[in-house]
Structure 1
Amino acid sequence: MAVRKPPTERQRRLGAELRKMREHAGLSLTDAAALHGTDRTTVSNVESGRFGVSPDRVRVWSANYSCRDGAYIDALAQIARERRSPSTEWWDEYRHSLVATVLDLAELEHHASSLRMAQITHMPGLLQHEDYARAVFQEAVPTLTPDDFERKLAFRGRRRCVLDRPEAPECTFIIHETALCMRFGGAAVMRRQLDYLLEQSERLNVRVHVLPFAAGGFPAAASSTLYACGPVEQLDTVQTDTPVGSVFLHAQTHLANYRAVLERMEERSLDPDASRRFVREVAQRL
């Protein structure tokens, strides 16, 4: 028997959405199982992401829960379809060599309709020049083995392919002045990174906003945040880095709070044209 692959964050999200739908309908696991013609253990396993579910069953369960949001249901059915007919994506090559949260981040970026990212001390991963990324990984704790180092570097480079897709997501990057001034790898590497940042900022689907020191304080100053928009707002996801690894959030209160944080940061940032001028000025001082 083939080994069952553990669910991805995206697949766990499907189960979580079905659970929220059931709870919104005011049904217990036992009530839901009776409606679906199954047992409560099956419903629980689907909601936890341990078991997959077919697109047709997603639609039936949604109807049983009196959900009438067609776009939302279609998006959930698409996630179910991916699990039942999995295709091999580039990040699957790393499934046995990198932690699951790193793969989940690549999958999240791939499926997002748009991306908003805020970085304080590092350049956003999707906009990192290889030399800069190499310098960042050299500071990893614990120190990476040579094989792990090259593997992580290659993975970060391949993540950038999301910007080149025919239907690439609209990307907004908010970068604090701190990240422009921290010289990972020295002045020459940082100069190449800033030139690369300017080059990438000219993409039609990329907007870079610099948040200068002069803007003063701002919310979430100590964190790195990615807000990935799903096909419908209910399926938006926040990914944030912590000292113990990546955390994925999708409760509606969390999404609303992080939207507010990013909006306030963007309001205090320079517009894209002024941000490019600012980056050039920093580069000239190196």
Structure 2
Amino acid sequence: MPGRQNPTLRQRRIGAELRRMREQAGLGGNQLARMLGVSAPQITQMENGKTSASADRIQSIAEACKCENLPLINALGGLITSRRKSWWDQYRDHLPDALLKSAEHEDFAAGAIRSWTSAIIPGPLQTEDYARGVFNRRIPPLPADEINLRTAFRSERRRKILRNPRKTLEAYLHESSLVTRFGGTDVLRKQLHSLIDDSLREDVSIRVVPFTAHTYPGPIENLVYSLGEVPELDTVEVELSRSPIYLDDPTELASYRQVFDRIAQAALSDEDSQDLIRQTLKNLKG
């Protein structure tokens, strides 16, 4: 049976963990296939996320690889049994895959979502007018109906995160994002008011790295770090100009955890960040 052509982030991640499990056991694909009584191409397809692995199959692979990481095994099994139709599927044939993957990444998170942005308000915190201002700056310009669709998608993405009791959002912003005007001064003013309102939510933390910080603590690229059911299932999204990339190698995850620790050390507290946003609002002219 031919495998799926475009595996979801969840399917790719399950496959990547199965491949990592096999490699840590020092087994080749052919060896594992013989142990399980399947063909080598089936192992390759599973590890690429192109065919599904059942919870029983994951257990069999873990036993063959002598993996004793029970929390990880159970978490992978949970990802299998929690498969469902996702809210962004209705946009699948109408919006770029990169936008859908960002929503899927946030949905994939089991707990906290940590973000870092330098010159733009994070997507889940954007107002509709601000998001429209972001999409309006594309070159070549997007058609009006596509801008409307992208804006609706961004608003739905915001609701899915801020109204999800299982998730918390930790947003780190550089102060430059508070003064960059996507859509004009009035749009930015309403966006800053919205930021203050969001910062008062129990499940949202908004912390600003001020211009006066002794160094620029984060990368130029925007980041989203999602915490999985277990640390092995954490994922990093690095936003690039063409399309985001997703990282899950343990060494890379450890590196980005240090990046966020450094950003947190440079950022103001939640309360001082609220004061800075209010002061920026007070000084906003135009």
TM-score by length of 2: 0.94
2:229 aligned with 1:237, yes or no? Answer: no
Aligned to 1:267: 265
Aligned to 2:16: 16
Over 3 Å counting, the alpha-carbon distance change for 1:189 and 1:258 in structure 2 is: same
Deviation at 1:135, TM superposition (A): 0.8
Aligned to 1:73: 73
| Preserved CA contact (<8 Å) 1:8 1:100 | no
Deviations 1:190-244 (A, max 9, x none): 1100000000001101011000010032244411000000000000000011122
Deviations 1:240-285 (A, max 9, x none): 1112211111011111111111110110010000000000000000
| Preserved CA contact (<8 Å) 1:10 1:104 | no
Deviation at 1:5, TM superposition (A): 6.6
| Preserved CA contact (<8 Å) 1:109 1:162 | no
Worse-superposed segment, 47-56 or 158-167: 158-167
2:157 aligned with 1:159, yes or no? Answer: yes
Instruction: Spell out structure 1 runs of 4+ moving beyond 6 A.
Output: none
| Preserved CA contact (<8 Å) 1:168 1:205 | no
What RMSD in Å do the two structures reach over aligned CA positions?
A: 1.8
2:95 aligned with 1:98, yes or no? Answer: yes
Deviations 1:104-152 (A, max 9, x none): 2212212311100001000010101111111111112332112211111
Aligned to 2:63: 63
Q: Which amino acid aligns with 1:81?
A: T
Q: Which structure 2 segments of 5+ residues have no match?
A: none
SS at match of 1:279: helix
Over 3 Å counting, the alpha-carbon distance change for 1:163 and 1:179 in structure 2 is: same
Q: Which structure 1 segments of 5+ residues have no match?
A: none
2:186 aligned with 1:179, yes or no? Answer: no
Deviations 1:84-121 (A, max 9, x none): xx422210101111222321221221231110000100
Distance, in Å, in 2 between the alignment partners of 1:4 and 1:53 is 13
Distance, in Å, in 2 between the alignment partners of 1:242 and 1:141 is 16
Distance, in Å, in 1 between the alignment partners of 2:165 and 2:270 is 22
SS at match of 2:114: strand
| Preserved CA contact (<8 Å) 2:10 2:108 | no
TM-score by length of 1: 0.94
Aligned pairs, how many? 283
Distance, in Å, in 2 between the alignment partners of 1:227 and 1:62 is 27
Equivalent position to 1:254, from 249, 252, 255: 252
Aligned to 2:26: 26
SS at match of 1:87: coil
Aligned to 2:52: 52
Worse-superposed segment, 246-255 or 163-172: 163-172
| Preserved CA contact (<8 Å) 2:12 2:49 | yes
Q: Which amino acid aligns with 1:97?
A: H
Distance, in Å, in 2 between the alignment partners of 1:172 and 1:166 is 14
Deviation at 1:166, TM superposition (A): 4.8
